[in-house]
Amino acid sequence: MMSLFRISGWRDMRARLIASFAIVSLLLVGLALYQFERIDEVRSSMTEQKREMDKRLSSAKISQFLQELDRLEGELKRENDAERAEPFRTIHQAMEAELSRLDFAGSTAAQEDLLALREKSAHYAGEVEKMAALLLDENADPLELLEQMDALHSRTAAENQTMLDISGRLSAAADRNAAAAQARSFERLQDTLTMTGAAALAVIALTAMVAFLLVRSFGGSVGRLEHAVGRLAEGDLRERIGSGRTDELGRLSRQFDVMVDRVHAMLQRSRGVAASLERQSGAFRESARVTAGANEEIVRSIRDIAAGAEMQSGLSEETRRLMDGLGADMEAIAGLADGMLKLRGTAVSDTRSGQQTVARLQETSVQTEEGIARMFEELERLDGFSRQISGITKSMIDLSSQTHVLALNASIEAAQAGAYGKGFAVIAEEVRRLSSQTKDSTAVIGGLIGRLQQGMEQFRASMEGSRSLLREQQEQVAATLGSFEAIGGSMTRISASIGEVHAQVDRTREACGGLRQLAAQVSGIAESAAAAAQQVLASGTLQDEEIRRMALQAADVHELSERLAADIRLFLLREEESREEAEGGGRAQPDGDGEAAA
């Protein structure tokens, strides 16, 4: 393996890794193929074991069939009934089906026993058929029949026992074959486990050896590269690797040296730029600070002027708004005065109409009261009629009860009269049924009359309430009529006052119009001044913000330049190497042994 890594074609790290993992993969593939083969053999053994178990079950079924056939043959012998042969034939057919499925081709003795069992089964069935035929023969001598039946029974019993012995041997053969198949399955599984464990140990050992060789081949170069990167992270740009390897690590080390050289040159140039930037940014920061202070004073003065102009514009606008509001109020008052003049005539006519309407309402209330009095009289008369009807219904209920009793007595008399009283009994039953219906109907009518009387009482109470409300309404109508007469007198006096108010409103409206024009002119002048002041203030504010931003940016630039110079000073460049060597520092030797580690 070491000589393989030293070949010039294998100096590439990628080729080493591919070769190492290819060897491990081939070993794993070989192990997998071996396992697939052994698993297929185990599957075959298990299939064979299942077939042998099926044979054993078939042998057990055949033994059960033979026992059942022996029982049926014995019943046929004892009962001398030919019909007992039919169940025997059914079970024998099932046994023949099981025998046809059995096959012991791999065992000569078992196959011979199977053939003998099939032959004896056919002969056994033939003997039983002979017994059934003897029983069906009506001309047979009873004594001769008994002797033949005994002889046939003895032969069939012996053949049944022989077949049971053969079935037992077949079952034992199936057991032996199943046990052998199971043993082969266990043996193959054990071989597979042993081979898998050995292969796993071999893979682990090979992987460990490959990993050790790979780590040993590039461990030293990675360590030197890690050391150089660590020094670079600390800011030391004097470290170089100088590797002579030809693989990826060698190329990476040389590219690292080139990168460090370029960064070293860039930092040397950046030191001068950072020093110049630090000086220029300091001067620019001071100039921006002075300019920002002067512009702040200018903006403060402009803001005071704009505030005064804004206040003047606000006051002018407030004055104009108040005058507009006053004019609008005067217009509204004038409109109300005009409306009052128009409504004066309407109110007078409405007042007169109201007086006439209230008078008619008073007459209607009197007529309504008279109608309610007449309704009370009719209601009293209706109540009397309902009481009379209630008395009549009670009398009808009493009559129906008496009729029912008489009908029962007539039925009893008709029953005592026997056949001569049947017609009278039918009539008495019909009278009793009619009296019951009459009593029920009369009770319903009585209930309706009671609810009618209850409703009339409620109606009488409602009419009493309506009469009281009508009397209150008449009193309120009289009071309303008096109020309308007083309103008419007041409207006459109000009409005279409305005319004087309308004339005064016209004079005030003309004065407000002149004031509104003057306020509008003053407000326009103030708004123009405020707008101009706001424009100046906006320009000054923007200028102040820009100057402040420039001052902040100048401060940030100066701070960044200081930080940049400080950060650049953190790096150690080659011009400082002589001073550090004098103090005892030394530079690491370059990696010149190349492939020595490999």
Per residue in 406-429, pLDDT tens? 777 877 877 777 776 667 677 777
Question: Residue 519's domain spans which residues?
Answer: 261-574
Asked whether residue 554 carries a pLDDT value surpassing 60, the answer given is yes
Do the domain assignments include residue 596? no
Q: Are residues 300 and 178 part of one domain?
A: no
Is there a single domain that holds both residue 498 and residue 558?
yes
Q: Are residues 554 and 482 in the same domain?
A: yes
**For residue 449, how many other CB atoms are within 10 A of its CB?**
19
Tell me, yes or no, whether 198 and 289 share the same domain.
no
User: What is the rounded distance in angstroms from the CA atom of residue 290 to the CA atom of residue 277?
Assistant: 20
Q: Which helix (H) or strand (E) covers residue 378, if one does?
A: helix 248-417
Q: What is the CA radius of gyration of the chain?
A: 68
Which tens digit of pLDDT belongs to each residue from 392-410? 877 777 777 777 777 778 7
Q: Counting runs of H as helices and runs of E as strands, what totals does the chain give?
A: 8, 0
Max mean pLDDT range (140-154, 443-457, 485-499): 140-154
Helix (H, G, I), strand (E, B) or coil at 106: coil
344 by Cβ neighbours in 10 Å (0-12 / 13-18 / 19+) ranks as middle
The reply to whether 180 and 274 lie within a common domain is no
Residues 470 and 527 in one domain: yes
Q: How many structural domains comprise the chain?
A: 2
Domain assignment of residue 591, yes or no: no
Domain shared by 207 and 305, yes or no: no
**Is residue 254 a part of any domain in this protein?**
no
Specify if 240 maps to a domain.
no
Neighbours of 11 (CB within 10 A): 19
In a domain, 234, yes or no: no
Please check whether residue 66 is in contact with residue 164, taking contact to mean a CB–CB distance below 8 angstroms. Answer: yes
| Interval 461-482: pLDDT, tens | 777 777 777 777 777 777 777 7
Average pLDDT in the 527-547 region?
70
- CA gap 386, 436 in Å, rounded: 24
- The answer to whether the CB of 502 falls within 8 A of the CB of 338 is yes
pLDDT digits (tens, 9 = 90+) for 165-213: 988 888 888 888 778 877 877 887 787 788 778 877 887 887 888 777 7
The answer to whether residues 404 and 494 belong to one domain is yes
What single-letter amino acid sits at 470?
L
239 within a domain of the structure (yes/no): no
d(Cα 12, Cα 95) in Å, to the nearest integer? 77
Report whether 206 contacts 20 (CB < 8 A).
Answer: no
pLDDT at 6: 45
Decide: residue 7, CB within 10 A, 0-12 exposed, 13-18 middle, 19+ buried.
Answer: exposed
CA distance 358 to 480: 7
Tell me if 146 sits within 8 A of 134, measured CB to CB: no
- Separation between Cα atoms, residue 117 and residue 57, nearest integer Å: 16
The mean of the pLDDT values for the chain is 73
- CA distance linking residue 172 with residue 110, whole number of Å: 9
Q: Domain check: are 300 and 382 in the same one? A: yes
Look at residues 187, 219, 251 and tell me which one is the last residue of a structural domain: 219
Q: Which residue has the higher pLDDT, 581 or 149?
A: 149
Residue 211 sits in the same domain as residue 288: no
Same domain, 304 and 208: no
Q: Are residues 111 and 31 in the same domain?
A: yes
- Find, among 543, 86, 1, 25, the residue nearest to 300 by Cα: 543
